[in-house]
Structure formats: C-alpha cells, structure tokens
Amino acid sequence: MLIFAIARIIPGDPARIALGPSATPEQVQTLRERLHLNESLPMQYGYFIGDLARGDLGISLYTNRPVTTDIATFLPATLELIIVAGIMMIGIGLPLGVLSARYRGSWIDNGIRLISLLGVSAPSFVWAVILMLLFAYFLPIFPIAGRISDTYFVQPVTGFQMIDTLLAGNLKAFGSAAWHIVLPAFALALAGIGQAARLTRSNMVETYEKPFIEMAHSYGFPESRIARRYAFRPSLIPSLTIIGLDFAAMLGNAFLVEAVFAWPGLSRYGVAVILRKDLNAIVGTVLVISALFLIVNIVVDLLIAFINPRIRLSQRAS
C-alpha cells in the first residue's frame, strides 16, 4: 500500500507522458478515464486491489501490454541469472571461507580475505565491466552479451533458457546458454561470494575457539575432519540469515549486471518503466520483487530452522 501511495503522489501527469506530446487533450482525457486517474485516491486503491485479486496488474503505458505479460516475459531471465549467481555464491563462497578459517593466519587465508574484500568493494556493474573486458574482449573466452547465440531458437517453455534447451534436447544450445550466463552471473555473485566467504570465515574462527573443538583435538580427530564436520555446521547457522539477505539483495543488483550484459530481464524493464513513470508497471514490478524478497527470506528461515537442531527439536517438543 505504501508503494501505491507513493506512486500516486508523483508530480506529472502519467497519461500525458505515456501518450507523448502529440496527443490531443481529448485523448489524454480518455486515457485518464480508463486509468481511473480522475477519481479520488481511495477509489483508485479500491480498483487496484480488485484488479490485483483477479491477477490483473493493469496495462503498462510503456509497452502497451498487460503488466502481467511483461513481467512473465522478463522475470524468468532475471530469476535464472539470480539462481545461477546464488549457486555460485554458496558453491564458491562457503568453501573459500572454510579454507580461509582452517588455514587461518597463512597466505591462503590472507589471500582469500583480500579477494573477498575486493569483491565486496565494488558495485556489480564495475565487476561486470571489468569481467567483460578481461574475459570477453581482451581474452575472447566468453561471449560479450545476450542470453544465447542468435543461431539457436528455442521454444520458451519455462522461460529458463538453460532448462528449455535441455527440454528441447538441443545440447549445443544448452552449451551456448550456459556459456552466456557465466560472466553475468559471476559478476552478480562476486559481492555475494566475498560476503559469504568472509562471514563463513569469521563464524568458523569463532567456532574454533569453542570448547568442543578443543575436545575434538584432544581425541586426535584429523584436522580436515574437524574443519568439515565439527566446525562447519555450528558456524553455518549464524551465517544463513545474512546469506539469505545477500541472495535477496542480488535481486536488487541484478539491474546493474543486466544493463552491462544486455540481459533481457525484469530489472531492465523495471528501470525503463521507472524512467517513464509508468505507474502500473512500476507498482507491478516493485510488488513482484518485494514478494520474491519475502519468499526468499521465508525459505531461508525455514532452512535455518531445519539445520539448527535446537529450533527443530524444540518445535517438535511443543
């Protein structure tokens, strides 16, 4: 509701902007009628909720298509990017943190810490630019932009190109899609990787100080086993909340990467509509993104509850 209120208060007549300067006053008026802009604010809100219940987010003034269609077209691209980046974040960040903690004080540790800090110190688009220049231009390993090479056409079933290409049985296309996603996802993930590594490291170092680790040492459990089994799980719990937040934050940062790599995702759409003050689209987009954010947070909470025996068992007991 907050979003709605803010959106409605902006200066400038949205209908006029949408129709362009050449529209006649009558046309503007008709559009205003359709969009209920002439009625009082509470009435507009009423229409909005009613439409929302029916799944209708209105028409985008920008693309002239229903906002829901727009979102459905662009969302999967962004989601795909975020998911791959998320996998990278956890798959690379956590092990780096564990290594860093296990060999704390050594070169490995200091090196990883430095890189992690660097990763966190620049916005995703800077990394996107640097990565693109390094690995796509100066060293042409990865493609420069786009989701998939133009030579392939894949029927969009789920909207996830990686899945769709597999469904279509076209392995070459799958390869192309995968190759295309590496750089952007990595650029997006870099900050998250740095954060995850640092967090894991600091939590594990803290855990290492705990008495039960000393006891494990006294029993002569091998160091690697201690790192993997004994120290890791208890350290994971405090990290999870923040990792979850980071993952959700990637939703916000996706914009920047999508811009550099020309990735046709929701964020680019979002930026475009914001610049054009396309009310319905703005509201719709922000709504969807906030909802996603919420869902991610809930999932993370559930995961935490699952991994932390204390919470899990106390709920079973009650």
Partner 1 sequence: MTAPTLRIEDLALKFRTYSGMVDVLHGISLHIQKGERVALVGESGSGKSVTARIVLGLLQSLRTARISGHVDFDGRDLMSMHDAERHRLRGTKMSMIFQDPTSSLNPVYTIGDQFREVLFRAEPGLKMAAARQKAVAALTDVAIGEPERVLDSYAYQLSGGMNQRVMIAMALANEPSLLIADEPGTALDVTVQAQTLRLMGELVEKHRTSVLFISHNLGVVREFADRVYVIFKGRIVEHAMTRDLFENPRHAYTRALMSAVPRITGGGIPEIDDASPDFLAPLIVHEGCAEPGAPV
Partner 2 sequence: MKRTLTILIRNPLSLLGLTLVVLVVLSALFADFIAPFPEHRGAIVDFANFNRAPEWPYIFGTDLVGRDLFSRILYAYRISLLLGVVVLVIAVPIGVTIGLAAGYLGGWTEFVLMRITDVFLSIPPLVLAMSMMGLLEPTLTNGMLAVTAMWWPWYTRLVYNLARSEREEGYVLAAEVIGAGKAHIMFREILPNCVPSILTKMTLDLGFVILIASSLSFLGLGVQPPTPDLGSMVADGSKYLPDSWWLTVFPGLAILVAVFGFNLLGDALRDILGVEQ
- What is the closest distance, in whole angstroms, from the C-beta atom of residue 253 to partner 2 in the complex? 6
Q: Which helix (H) or strand (E) holds 231?
A: none
What DSSP designation does 169 have? Answer: T
Which residue in the set 21, 25, 140, 220 belongs to the binding site for partner 1 (CB under 8 A)? 220
- Residue entry with tokens 């990595």: 186
Closest CA to 280 of 31, 21, 22: 31
For partner 1, the binding residue among 47, 137, 153, 212 (CB under 8 A) is 212
Check if the beta carbon of residue 238 is closer than 8 Å to that of residue 250: no
Question: Which residue is listed with tokens 């050594």?
Answer: 106
Stretch binding partner 1 (CB under 8 A), from 115-123, 175-183, 255-263, 308-316: 308-316
Interface size with partner 1, residues (CB under 8 A) = 20
Question: What gap in Å lies between CA 103 and CA 101, rounded to an integer?
Answer: 5
Task: Report residue 231 as tokens.
Answer: 């120290």
The reply to whether 306 sits near partner 1 by the rule CB under 8 A is no
Provide, rounded to whole angstroms, the least separation between the CB of residue 311 and partner 1: 11
The token duo for 205 is: 């170092």
Q: Give the relative orientation of helices 232-261 and 67-88 as an angle to the nearest 10 degrees.
A: 130
Q: State which residue, 137 or 306, has the beta carbon closest to partner 1.
A: 306
CA distance 39 to 33: 9
Chain residues binding partner 2 by CB under 8 A are: 2-3, 6-7, 9-10, 114, 117-118, 120-126, 129-130, 132-133, 136-138, 144, 202, 238, 248-249, 251-253, 255-256, 259-260, 270-271, 274-275, 277, 282, 286, 289-290, 293-294, 297
Contacting partner 1 (CB under 8 A), which of 65, 172, 228, 229?
A: 229
Question: Judged by CB under 8 A, does residue 110 bind partner 1?
Answer: no
Tell me which amino acid residue 318 is: S
What is the binding site for partner 1 (CB under 8 A)? 210-212, 214-221, 229-230, 233-234, 307-310, 313
